[in-house]
């Protein structure tokens, strides 16, 4: 496909049709029987067939294939999405190729291509590049339509959940040279006000994990005030201490006297892995280093919105191969506490952070019988070192052999 022609076709189409346009171009170029985008739903339990291009005038009449659910357990689709590798299977009509659609580690879904003949290695390489193009077309198109958001929703959203969703970053995963991060929010039946957030600039990774007291709309509004305050200061390049102090003041000025938010606010310097962390009444982060998981011993300040004049950050020096895990107390309530966080950490060091946060979510749902009393939210950060490397499937230990050891004081 000509890049110029493809971009022109996308620009000339409606945002709703952008994916269909790319699929049609690809189908014609590789002589495929059909091309479909399967987008991952919000729960991570399945895929949705968002578009299905067979040929001109050849759609099944009256069938809304954009809402077709594709189950994952035990399928080639699950293997492709989980491992981020191409799956090629034989079908009654020919061959089916499943290619991960991923943007900077954010697993968006799969490109499904049905062919009449077994694909060559060259064609598989081409489809990998095409899937990458799909990712960017989708990221751009969803800014202008709710179609893709609608397709991902496998359960109805309450107003509180709608607010909560808007507070989360648009991508839950990011791979950025020296580090990889992934977050996940497993909501309770009555949204509990959890959030995670992150941003990168040339010098730092900024991140936060917060838990507003209460449930439903009250918690969502507290979370909104908190996240807006943190982002406002972050976008002014303020460090974690000033971010937390400002959010605390905003809550005192606008929330009720008995309302508060716990949280972790941090900033990691990309040149050497020095992390500044503020703990505002929150469970301390876990650190996986050298195969051993421990909780960091940080200064614990009162929650945001409680009587504190000023917050200060603790300094932690990360080493290449370290994994930092932040969780909310949804993982610590009575039934959820059966989830062995440290055991999962030590047993999953080779896995991508995206897989780790989803495994933790799966475990907490199993431990609670699917009835969470509070949101359970995680943020996992792998540090490879300033000379490390990222990998679409590798985990915390992936960079140990090649990364340059960090210098300076380290957390014991």
Span 225-246, pLDDT tens digits: 999 999 999 999 999 999 999 9
125 and 187 together in one domain = no
Q: Is residue 285 part of a domain?
A: yes
What percent of the chain is modeled with pLDDT above 70?
A: 88
Compute the mean pLDDT over every residue in the chain, rounded to the nearest whole number.
Answer: 86
231 and 267 together in one domain = yes
Domains identified in the chain, total number: 2
pLDDT score of 406 more than 60: no
Last residue in a domain, options 95, 119, 150:
150
Q: Which domain CATH number covers 38? A: 3.30.450.40
Q: Is residue 406 part of a domain?
A: no
Residue 17: pLDDT band (50, 70, 90) is confident
207 and 74 together in one domain = no
> What value does the mean pLDDT take over residues 349-357?
92
307 and 170 together in one domain = yes
Q: Is residue 407 part of a domain?
A: no
Q: Is residue 220 part of a domain?
A: yes
Span 33-74, pLDDT tens digits: 989 888 888 877 788 886 544 444 444 444 444 467 888 888
pLDDT at 323: 97
What percent of the chain is modeled with pLDDT above 90?
A: 52
133 and 241 together in one domain = no
188 and 120 together in one domain = no
pTM: 0.85
Residue 96, domain extent: 3-150
164 and 103 together in one domain = no
Q: Is residue 411 part of a domain?
A: no
pLDDT at 287: 97
Last residue in a domain, options 102, 134, 150:
150
pLDDT at 25: 86
303 and 355 together in one domain = yes
61 and 173 together in one domain = no
Q: Are 164 and 192 in contact (CB under 8 A)?
A: no
182 and 78 together in one domain = no
Last residue in a domain, options 129, 150, 171:
150
Structure tokens at 14: 């409606």
pLDDT score of 249 more than 70: yes
145 and 224 together in one domain = no
Comparing 106-120, 168-182, 332-346, the range with the smallest average pLDDT is 332-346
> What value does the mean pLDDT take over residues 169-181?
93
Residue 411: pLDDT band (50, 70, 90) is very low
pLDDT score of 285 more than 60: yes
Q: Which domain CATH number covers 319? A: 3.60.40.10
Q: Is residue 387 part of a domain?
A: yes
> What value does the mean pLDDT take over residues 204-232?
94
pLDDT score of 5 more than 90: no
Q: Is residue 114 part of a domain?
A: yes
130 and 171 together in one domain = no
Pairwise pLDDT comparison (19 vs 377), residue with the higher score: 377
Q: Is residue 204 part of a domain?
A: yes
pLDDT score of 410 more than 50: no
- The residues near 207 (Cβ < 8 Å, ≥ 6 apart) are 181, 196, 197, 198, 199, 265, 266, 267, 268, 326, 379, 381
């Amino acid at each position: 496909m000509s890049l110029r022609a493809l971009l022109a076709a996308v620009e000339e189409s409606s945002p709703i049709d952008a994916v269909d346009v790319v699929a049609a171009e690809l189908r014609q170029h590789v002589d495929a029987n059909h091309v479909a985008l399967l987008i991952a739903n919000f729960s991570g339990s399945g895929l949705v067939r968002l578009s299905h291009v067979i040929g001109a005038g050849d759609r099944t009449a009256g069938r809304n294939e954009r809402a077709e659910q594709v189950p994952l357990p035990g399928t080639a689709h699950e293997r492709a999405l989980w491992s981020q590798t191409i799956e090629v299977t034989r079908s009654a009509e020919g061959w089916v190729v499943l290619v991960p659609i991923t943007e900077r580690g954010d697993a968006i879904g799969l490109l499904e291509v049905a062919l009449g003949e077994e694909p060559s290695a060259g064609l598989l390489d081409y489809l990998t590049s095409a899937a990458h193009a799909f990712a960017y077309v989708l990221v751009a198109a969803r800014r202008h339509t709710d179609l893709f958001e609608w397709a991902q929703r496998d359960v109805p959203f309450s107003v509180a959940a709608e607010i909560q969703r808007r507070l989360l970053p648009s991508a839950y995963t990011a791979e950025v040279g020296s580090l990889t991060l992934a977050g996940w929010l497993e909501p309770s039946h009555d949204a509990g006000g959890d959030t995670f957030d992150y941003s990168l600039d040339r010098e730092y990774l900024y991140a936060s994990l917060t838990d507003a007291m209460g449930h439903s709309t009250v918690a969502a509004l507290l979370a909104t005030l908190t996240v807006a305050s943190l982002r406002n200061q972050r976008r002014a390049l303020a460090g974690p201490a000033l971010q937390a102090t400002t959010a605390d003041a905003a809550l005192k000025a606008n929330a009720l006297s008995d309302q508060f938010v716990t949280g972790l606010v941090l900033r990691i310097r990309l040149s050497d892995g020095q992390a500044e962390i503020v703990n505002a009444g929150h469970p301390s982060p876990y650190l996986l280093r050298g195969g051993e998981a421990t909780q960091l011993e940080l200064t614990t300040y009162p929650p945001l919105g409680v009587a504190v004049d000023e917050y200060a950050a603790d300094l932690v020096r990360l080493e290449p191969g370290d994994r930092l895990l932040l969780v909310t107390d949804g993982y610590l309530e009575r039934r959820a506490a059966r989830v062995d966080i440290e055991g999962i950490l030590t047993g999953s060091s080779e896995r991508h952070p995206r897989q780790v946060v989803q495994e933790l979510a799966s475990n907490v749902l199993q431990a609670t019988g699917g009835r969470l009393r509070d949101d359970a939210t995680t943020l996992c950060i792998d540090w490879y070192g300033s000379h490390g490397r990222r990998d679409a499937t590798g985990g915390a230990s992936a960079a140990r052999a090649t990364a340059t050891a960090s210098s300076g004081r380290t957390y014991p």
